[in-house]
Structure formats: C-alpha cells, structure tokens
Chains A and B, each alone.
Chain A
Amino acid sequence: MSEFFNQYFDFTIMGDHFSEVLEGFLKNLLLFAVVLVLALSWGLILALLRQLPGRKFIPLRGLTIAYIDVFRAMPLLIIILLISGGIPYLEFIPKEIRIPNWFGLPDPFWYGVLALTLVYGAYIAEVYRAGIEAVPAGQVEAARSLGMSHGQAMRHIVVPQAITKIPAPMLNELNSLLKDTTLVSVVALGESLLIGREVLAETFNSSAVMLAGLMFLVITLPLARIVDYLIKRNQGKITRGSHIEVA
C-alpha cells in the first residue's frame, strides 16, 4: 500500500520539483489566457458569420458550418501535431511567422495557441450560437422594425442578451480548454505535464505528474462549483419568469 502511495505521492519528489512543475503550470495558464482571448473572439466571429441573413451569404454560412463541424470532429492532438509538424516547413511563409518566437516564447507555444484557438473557436462558436438562438425572435423583429441593420441588431440587442444566457456552458468549455493545454506537451512545450514526465523518466515515480494534476485541480474544481451555481441561478430565473420571456 505504501508503495502505491509513494508512486503517486512521494512528497520528497514533489518538493524537489515543485518550482519546476509550477513554472510549467504557469506556462499552461499563460497558454490558456492567450487562447481564451483569441478563441472567445474567433468563436464569436464564427457564430456571427453563421447567423448572416439572406441568400447571398449561403456560401459563407456553409463554409462556416463546415469549419465548425470539422474542427470539432478532429482530435485536438492530431491538429496540434499537424500544425507543429507542418507549418515550420512551409517555406513560402516568412520565417518569423512559421517559426515564431514572439514575446520570448518558443515556437511550440505558438503552435499550441494556433491549434487550440482553431479548435476551441469552433466549440465556443456553438456555445454562442446556443445563446443567440435563445434570444426570442421578437427581439430581432423589434430591432429590425426600428430600422436597425442586421449588424446593429446583433451588436446592440442579440449578442448582449445571448452572452447572459451561456455562462455555464462557456465555463465548461474554458475548463476543458485549460486541461487541454497539457496536450501541447507532445510538441515539447515545457509545460507542467512535460516536466512531470521528465521527472517520471528520471525517477520512475509519478509524483511530479500527480503534482501537475493537483495544480489543475486547484483551478478546475472551484470552476465546477461556479458552473453549478450559475446553472441553479439560471433555473431560478426561468421559474420566476418575467413578462419578456413569455413568448
């Protein structure tokens, strides 16, 4: 039993490598923060493209839907490998872009940013879409009848209401995003999992990997509680009801 415990919770190993693993975890958080901003924006753009009205936007809508479907259907790990294993060799792209070293961060970091943004943009677009579709049609009709363009109605009426309807599913996506930053370890980004595995390879002991996992728990467990709270609060709102929600 103690052998089992020591394999995962050897406090000496955890202590020895704590600062390295923490440094790696901060890279996970940095990756998460950068992708958070980019994917929330890219997802909103995709969701809005998908909502464009009229016949002339059929091709653009179709492309958007295809993009969203494909990037949600493809395993994220494969996308990361396709990007990091392909883009560096596309010589028509300037070197500073295909092998980026921006802000002192190595190229695997930026390949991770690109892959995660491409994939999570697609997931997040679907979350926005659920919010947009939950705004009653009468809201758009009222805005349009007042002379607002489709874009003005989206910007001032639909999107502000849509985002108040989706905090729980959005936090779920962001929770997954944070955890999925560990996948970038496969392209040798020195984040917490990679460091944990290096320690594992040296010591044949999993405690450093466990330590990385525990660091994630510190963030993701409270997030789960917050999601539950938001879902409950939202249900309360629905059962209380308001004149506006009754269609």
Chain B
Amino acid sequence: MPEAMVKLAGIRKRFGALEVLKGVNLEVAKGEVVCILGPSGSGKSTLLRCVNLLEPPEEGEIFLEGQDICKGPDSGTGEQSWELDFVRQRVGMVFQQFNLFPHKTVLENVTLAPRQVLGKSREECESKAKALLERVGLDDKFNQYPERLSGGQQQRVAIARALAMEPHVMLFDEVTSALDPELVKEVLDVLRELAAEGMTMLIVTHEMGFAREVGDQVVFMDGGVIVEQGNPADVLDNPREERTRKFLGRVLER
C-alpha cells in the first residue's frame, strides 16, 4: 500500500465546551477524491479546516505526504509549533463564500500569493494565472474586480487562485452552497476536470449526484465522527448505518 497523501489519526477538536470532532480517522490516497457528506454541525467543515491547520486539532495526528504536521511541544496551543509553511504550500482550499480579495482584480487575486509567498516574478505569475483562468473559463475577466462577477465566476477565480500555489491536495468546503442553482454546474465541471487530472481532493458537499459520480470514496459524518465510509455506490445506495439512511432519506426527498 503506497503512503497516504493525507492521513488523519484520532483527530479531536473542541470549541469551548463543544466537542466538534470526536476522534476522526481517515486516509486519502494520492489522486483520490473523497466526498464528505453529513448534516450541518456534523463537523465536516471543521475536519477540512483541520487538514490545513486553519483550525488546529487539540488531539490526534495529521500526516501530509508522510510528514506529521501537528507535532510540536505546544501542540494545539499556538501556530508557532505547526508546520504551517509546509502545509499551506501543499494544501489549497476553496471556501463556501469564495473569499476573494475585493480590492484586487481577478488577476491580482491569483498572482498575489505566488508572488508574495513563493517570491516568483510578476511575469511568471501572470502568465501562469492567465493560463489557470483560461482553464476555468475566465479568460475575459483578468482586470475585473470580484464584485462585478457572478457567484459561479467568483468561485472559479477562487479555484484558480488556490491552484496557482501548485497544491498537492485541494480542500473544497461546500463550494456550491452559496451559488444560485444555475451556476452550480459550471463550478462542479471545474472540479470534475481536476479529478480527471488526478488531483487529490477532499470535498465537503451536499451534491449527492456529484459525490456519486466523482467520488472515489464517500464519507458520511455525524456528531463529530465518521459514521460510514466506502465507495459511493455502497454508501449512497446501500447504507449500512441507520443514521446514514435517515440523512440520505431527508436529503433525497427534496
């Protein structure tokens, strides 16, 4: 068995008195697409945010390409002890609310981090950014400001922005939930392409059809634990657990 790209072991995370993750174990192979489902409050977004240490876990270990990224004398107490540079330059993230930088143009949104963090030249960053924006179908928007774009376009810029750092793993946190229904497909199509190209992805989503089609593995979370996981057909069509069945029943009724 090859080394896992991402491996979570016994992840626990609490916000005050509320324990959001109660011991999560998960392995993601290189090139694998894992779709994470579950009711709101089940901890799925927090789990993603643990992987790139936006929310460092209190307990447990995260291995990224075999390296333990949460060790350190002050585990869980501060950013200093975390392997932040190692993580954030390998893990890209796309958010539900896009979080584009409103005071920067589309092109500047995509070039800012490579220029500042990797110290690459403007020319190199811009030609790369333009190629990425073309790839997500936005070659005519380079000099627009984000507020002039539709939600779907903004989200595609956000994906290009994350890809500009050449991540090895991409995290998608409900990236279509804030979009009007007719804009969902254009974003999912970009995700499909990335999956086809072999990008390792963790995708929190409510799009069951998409999870079935693109996911190599589907994970169902509830109450801060993984209730069930397996290949999409098994989990979505023949769930073993009562909680999964109930959730799918509610979701598919819509």
Contact = CB atoms under 8 A, between A and B. Distances in A.
Interface of A: 53-56, 136, 138-139, 141-149, 152, 156-157, 160-161, 164, 242-244, 246-247
7 contacts: A139-B101, A142-B95, A142-B101, A145-B88, A146-B161, A147-B85, A147-B89
Given A160-B103, A247-B97, A54 B116 contact: no
A147 B117 contact: yes
Contacts of B112: 146, 148, 156
B146 interface: yes
A182 B132 CA distance: 58
Given A145-B52, A146-B117, A146-B161, A246 B97 contact: yes
B78 A54 contact: yes
Contact of B103 (A54, A149, A164): A164
A146 B154 CA distance: 16
B102 A244 contact: yes
B54 interface: yes
Contacts of A160: 103
Interface string B169-210: 000000000100000000000000000000000000000000
Contacts, number: 85
B20 to A, nearest CB: 17
A234 to B, nearest CB: 15
A91 to B, nearest CB: 43
Interface residues of B, number: 35
B127 interface: no
Contacts of A161: 101-103
Contacts of B162: 145-146
Nearest to B151: A243
B152 to A, nearest CB: 11
Contacts of A243: 98, 146-147, 151, 154
A162 to B, nearest CB: 10
Contact of A145 (B77, B93, B103, B118): B93
B146 A141 contact: no
Contacts of B154: 243
A168 B54 CA distance: 33
B100 interface: yes
B3 interface: no
